[in-house]
Structure 1
Amino acid sequence: MNKNIFLTLVVLLFVIGCKTNPFTGKSTLNFYPNTSIFPTAFAQYDEFLKENKVVESSSEAKMISSVGQRIATAAERWLNSNGYPGYLKDYQWEYNLVQDETVNAWCMPGGKIVFYTGILPICQDETGIAVVMGHEVAHALADHGAQRMSAGMVQQGVAVAGNIAINDPEKRNIFNQAYGIGSAVGVMLPFSRSHETEADRIGLQIMAIAGYNPDEAAELWKRMKANSGNQAPPEFLSTHPSNDTRIANLTSWAPLAKEEARKYGVTSFQ
């Protein structure tokens, strides 16, 4: 393929692959429509559940489901009142607790969420679960999965363009090594950290609208920090902001989340 044609196609993808994040108003890179990515994500989620031990009848499993529904409802209230009716029409919310000592929870595109039992001691109670749930729901609302896939496509596309443009084998090898490290540390990792920060802020807002105390988010991350034993890579080499960064952000954003919740008649928090 002619290198000029290839570069033109890359630029064209940037232009047509943008979608507005309703919570931030920012234009985001997203080549994947919901109708394309959601069915695949749903199938992968179902396969994961078949291959892992799902906790179905415990009080914790029921709480995770009820908290998830409550926060998804709060998100829909916000979207409807801010000019985005029907935004969630393709979503199929599902919340499952899986027996696994890993301290983690995650969300697939379209609203398929998993909590591992290992994170429950850190959550401690329903409000702690709401902190994590708000964060995971926010990832789904902001299409972060599709954005990561889109960024990966661009990263690969630029690498291919570079290899097409550079004819000298030695220079091409230097480019590949430098680009691999530079695009990861300078682009992809900051991109991932920005998603985590965005999910923290959106999640804080919708958990408050759902009636949960946003002050507890910083407390949960203090427990996360203690649980990690302060063992973490430098922030610039991580996919996530540092615990200290998250604690500071969540502390400063909590009053704003309460203010937003008051617009929906929520004046007390559990």
Structure 2
Amino acid sequence: MRWIRCVAVATLAMTITACTTSPTGRQQLTLMSDAQLNQMGQEAFAQYQQDLPAAGQAQQRYAQCVASAIVDVLPERERNQDWQIRVFESEQANAFALPGGYMGVNTGLLAIAETQDQLASVIGHEIGHVLARHANERVSTQTSTQVALSVLGSAAGLQGPGGDQLMGALGLGAQYGIMLPFSRRHESEADVIGLRLMADAGFDPRASVALWENMSAQGGARPPEWMSTHPSHGQRMQGLQAEMGNAMARYEQARQAGRTPNCPRP
């Protein structure tokens, strides 16, 4: 049908003009410029700092020590980025990364990450999101999905209450069939990148599994896997274990090279 061809042509055009490769070798769709997203990241980070109270200086130094050890082993281009990390007073066990190298960790997560190595797995994961340009990819996927649905609705003449209902159903299908699984893929990829980074920096990669055991012990209701933006705790631990042989080899090389970070936990 003609409208199917229109959707295919529109999607193909965007894909051809914006294909990149992630650090793990996965093909990506990135429509936004890094400069645009970095500016957005800077503004969002400034807003975070206005909205959330900062933790104490000892906690800030601790997080900065771990982050600096990981940043030091990045390739030169990424290492020279203006990486910033802040610790915020919040009971939520959460951390985030924004384009441009802006990161935040809540004190609630510091309580669960019992060692410097466990915190390194969190920070390595967040740096992994930035290196893999996941924010760009997520925005680009949302944009291309909306364009495809818009072209579909116009070409198929889906107007009126019946058409609105069908387009709503198609939107839900895109959300659960494309957007959420894509987000889970990002989380799993950031786990792998973060595991490599923490090992290269001299942090024990086995601590990444211990961190998720701690997270699992916290309990709490979780949505069904297919409705979640994150893999289950069990899936994350399985994914980390699958990469552990390579990570341990990198860890041993880092230790032999004298990379032995020492970040006292406050």
Cα distance in 2 for partners of 1:28, 1:249 equals 21
TM-score by length of 1: 0.87
- Is it true that 1:244 corresponds to 2:243 in the alignment? no
TM-score by length of 2: 0.88
Amino acid at match of 2:34: N
1:63 matched residue in structure 2: 62
- Aligned pair count reads 257
1:72 matched residue in structure 2: 71
Distance change (3 Å), C-alpha of 1:71 and 1:236 = same
Cα distance in 2 for partners of 1:46, 1:122 equals 26
C-alpha contact 1:7 1:161 (8 A) present in aligned 2? no
Shift of 1:168: 4.7
C-alpha contact 1:71 1:206 (8 A) present in aligned 2? yes
Distance change (3 Å), C-alpha of 1:160 and 1:88 = farther
Shift of 1:48: 1.7
C-alpha contact 2:6 2:151 (8 A) present in aligned 1? no
- Is it true that 1:17 corresponds to 2:8 in the alignment? no
Distance change (3 Å), C-alpha of 1:218 and 1:68 = same
Q: Deviations over 1:93-125 (max 9, x none)?
A: 001001111110000012100001111111012
Of stretches 189-198 and 121-130 in structure 1, the one that deviates more from structure 2 is 121-130
Of stretches 42-51 and 151-160 in structure 1, the one that deviates more from structure 2 is 42-51
- Is it true that 1:26 corresponds to 2:17 in the alignment? no
2:88 matched residue in structure 1: 98
2:194 matched residue in structure 1: 203
- Is it true that 1:159 corresponds to 2:149 in the alignment? yes
Unaligned runs of 5+ in 1: 80-84
Q: Deviations over 1:27-77 (max 9, x none)?
A: 21111121221122112211221232112512x221101111111122x2x
Cα distance in 2 for partners of 1:168, 1:141 equals 40
Cα distance in 2 for partners of 1:267, 1:193 equals 35
C-alpha contact 1:205 1:258 (8 A) present in aligned 2? no
- Correspondence list, 1:33-182, <5 A: 33-58=33-58, 60-74=59-73, 76=74, 79=75, 86-87=77-78, 89=80, 91-169=81-159, 172-182=163-173
- The two structures, once aligned, show a CA RMSD in angstroms of 2.3
- Is it true that 1:190 corresponds to 2:181 in the alignment? yes
Amino-acid identity (%): 27
The structure showing larger relative contact order (alpha-carbon pairs under 8 Å, at least 6 residues apart) is 2
